Structure 1
Amino acid sequence: MKVTRQQVLAYRIAEHGLHRAARDESELALFDLGVQDTSNATARLALAARLPRPAGDLAGFTLIWSYRGAPHLHRGADLPALAEALWPGSESDAWARLAWRADRGIPALEAYAVTARALREAVPRTMGKGAASAALTAAIPPGLSQWCRGCQATHVSEQLMRLAVLPAGIRLETDRYPATLSPIEPWPGIPERTRGVDRVITTYLRFFGPATPGEVAGFLGTTRKSVLPYWPDDLSEVDVEGRTCWLPEDRLDLLRDPPAPPPVRLLPALDPYLQARDRDLLVPDKAAQKALWRILGNPGALLVDGEVAGVWRARTARTRIEITVQPFAPLDPETRAEVEAEATTIGAVRGAGSVAVRFATG
């Protein structure tokens, strides 16, 4: 099956729920994967781009460091299975996820298990991240800690602690900064083996496909070699403008004939749609890529007729929010009106009394 770039983008937009067909957050299939969140309420902004009104109570969802140690909102009931699926399948897999570059004196898989068990005991109640880190550092072998210039102290490796949180059954308190940790009760215990990786791969391919094993590995924070043993059988090969990619068989009909994208959406920084690993397909222009994906402080993305057509930022002053949109090319009056309508959704999420939109140039 051969498809065009435009078909792929329209397919992904539909799978990501950006047509606002779901009535509320409980109907969003996107939670099969999870929604990344930050202190700027990016998850709620991402949900607002997919729902007819801002999301309500998210009590049924849990914030936790999951993929690549980044904070994501997941359904609470999904977490034990996700912990098994993200448990490293080999020593080289564990090393890749931890991004270790030197001998720590302890095998990486053992480091995972030791740290997860210690973390479960170190956080018996709600604790700030600093206190939890100190308790964990005291309980693990010295080789798993390192000198931190920012803290001016020796403590557990940041990535190791983040990756140990899910298998340990430790969640993050939402809307608490700095980070605050709490135990999940009940919790089945530290995973004894890797299980369900194929389901996670299929889920990634559903939302970001057609894609390659290397792109799946990038999302999981590991290597292509570590992903291949779990590659599902029920996938179809798809030619995306000369690239061999893969998609679940049951999504082929939607890929073949996806609905037209909505006219305008304002996606927050780190929106799930922007997490695809094939950035050259999503945003072919290198200058646009540089504007959208920055080393620090990513802006949001302006989506127009299925294309990333610009970036935006918001500034809040008291009860007023000002959204500055910088399109990559001039926008017609009708599209500008759509942008202004979408901006009211951002204002509602952030509790702004009024919203102003400014279109920047250059």
Structure 2
Amino acid sequence: MTSPPELAWGQVAAWRLRRQHLDPRTTRTAAQVASRLCGVQAQVRSAADLAVALRRSPAAPGAVDDGLADLSLMKTWAMRGTLHLLPPHEAGAYLALMQTTGFWLRPSWQRVSGVTPRQIDELTEAVASILDGVVRTRDQLVTELVADGRFAAIEGPLRSGWGQVLKPLAWRGVLCHGPDQDNAITFTRPASRFPTWEPIPTADAAAPVVIAAYLGAYGPATPEAFDRWLSLNATSRLRLRRWFADMGDQLSEVDVDGRRAWMLAEHVEELIATPPASGVRLLGGFDQYVLGPGTNDDALLPAPHRAAVSRASGWISPVVVVDGRIAGVWEISDDELVVSHFPGSTRPPADALDAEAMHVAEARGLSRLRVRQASYPVDAAAG
């Protein structure tokens, strides 16, 4: 048996940076960026705006607004149950895989929510009818639903800002976010709003599409890393292994510094020829470069510094990426961009940080940001 090609992690980082439009940056639209990244997390809308802007040159804000306005982007609950921006014609494949998690079928979820699987099925039918061709605020939608005696007892869960009862409906393709109305969240039916929306495929048809897209941005990766990104490891092990196995010769195994992982066969030679990553990038909170492989990937983020990036309540800090690895965090304070380097990390040249700060300022619509460098507290970095 032929041994898999041996790669250094620095090569992988450089390849990912290029594939994710970070080095070099791109002039592509927000929808094209979201397509390459397998969606942009939009639980915090400003983070989604920044993730797209920092990948574009120039980094002027507004690309996401343009994509939502021209309907090349839709916002819906997708991977890990969080809000994402996705091109409408691609969204169905991701939603199909999220349906397989079936968390609403678990007795523990039913006890906490007070909602039964039958009610989820009934809600799917009712919401599809209510939202067909219209936009409704959450209050309007819920008010109409609870007028139906079948749903009167679950008004509380329906009004919850966490949307746990609405997520299965989004994954079934009958609900997505619509345009905001006076800062109120709205919902609509994707098929009636987006001309490019495509029906949701079966999970088995969607799996190779999503796996290929994921590995094209975040590979090489293991099935387990893919599932952490997709569902926080909620996919059945048997189903996950079968999805990868069914891709056959489309995938190739590689060795990255002694760790085996999979990537698209068509990308192997390109990655082998890629020199190791060099340079610095400042990325915003919840950036896909971090979320794709996950914060427990210690090649990307050394374990002693994980707590500085993966914070309480699921918050992901803005990060300093040096030679492909996370080497610190940053924040904006007044007109300063404060960079906190992790102990023992490589510090980039001051002029490189200044150039990155200019790009961040442009992406945030600011005139300028002065860089102030600091060391991350040792105790805090250790968690």
Match of 1:51 in 2: 56
Of 270-279 and 246-255, deviating more is: 270-279
Residues 1:333 and 1:101: Cα distance change in structure 2 (over 3 Å): closer
Q: Give 3-state SS (helix, strand or coil) of 1:41's partner.
A: helix
Match of 1:281 among 298, 314, 318: 298
Q: Give 3-state SS (helix, strand or coil) of 1:299's partner.
A: coil
Contact 2:79 2:94 in 1 (8 A): no
Residues 1:186 and 1:49: Cα distance change in structure 2 (over 3 Å): closer
- Deviation sequence 1:104-128 (CA, Å, 0-9, x none): 69875x6654433333234353333
Structure-to-structure mapping, 1:1-362, within 5 angstroms: 1-25=5-29, 28=32, 31-32=35-36, 33-54=38-59, 56=63, 57-58=66-67, 59=70, 60-88=72-100, 93-95=101-103, 101-103=108-110, 113-124=121-132, 125-136=134-145, 145=154, 158-166=163-171, 167-173=173-179, 177-184=183-190, 185-186=192-193, 191=200, 193-194=202-203, 195-221=205-231, 222-223=234-235, 224-231=237-244, 232-233=247-248, 234-261=250-277, 263-275=279-291, 276-277=293-294, 279-296=296-313, 297-315=315-333, 321-329=335-343, 335-361=349-375, 362=377
Contact 1:169 1:189 in 2 (8 A): no
RMSD of aligned alpha carbons: 3.5
Q: Give 3-state SS (helix, strand or coil) of 2:35's partner.
A: helix
Q: Give 3-state SS (helix, strand or coil) of 1:302's partner.
A: strand
Note the C-alpha offset of 1:54.
2.0
Contact 1:119 1:165 in 2 (8 A): no
Q: Alignment length, in residue pairs?
A: 348
Contact 1:44 1:54 in 2 (8 A): no
Normalization by structure 1: what TM-score? Answer: 0.81
Query: What stretches of structure 2 of length at least 5 have no aligned partner?
Result: 378-383
The structure with more strand, counted as a fraction of residues: 1
Q: Give 3-state SS (helix, strand or coil) of 1:270's partner.
A: coil
Note the C-alpha offset of 1:102.
4.8
Normalization by structure 2: what TM-score? Answer: 0.77
Tell me how far apart the structure 2 counterparts of residues 198 and 176 of structure 1 sit (CA, whole Å).
40
Percent identity reads: 23
Q: Give 3-state SS (helix, strand or coil) of 1:63's partner.
A: strand
Query: What stretches of structure 1 of length at least 5 have no aligned partner?
Result: none
Tell me how far apart the structure 2 counterparts of residues 280 and 333 of structure 1 sit (CA, whole Å).
21
Note the C-alpha offset of 1:31.
1.4
The one-letter amino acid of 2:124's match is A
Match of 2:380 in 1: none
Contact 2:146 2:152 in 1 (8 A): no
Residues 1:282 and 1:182: Cα distance change in structure 2 (over 3 Å): farther
Q: Give 3-state SS (helix, strand or coil) of 1:196's partner.
A: helix
Q: Give 3-state SS (helix, strand or coil) of 1:281's partner.
A: coil
Note the C-alpha offset of 1:331.
8.3
Residues 1:248 and 1:52: Cα distance change in structure 2 (over 3 Å): same
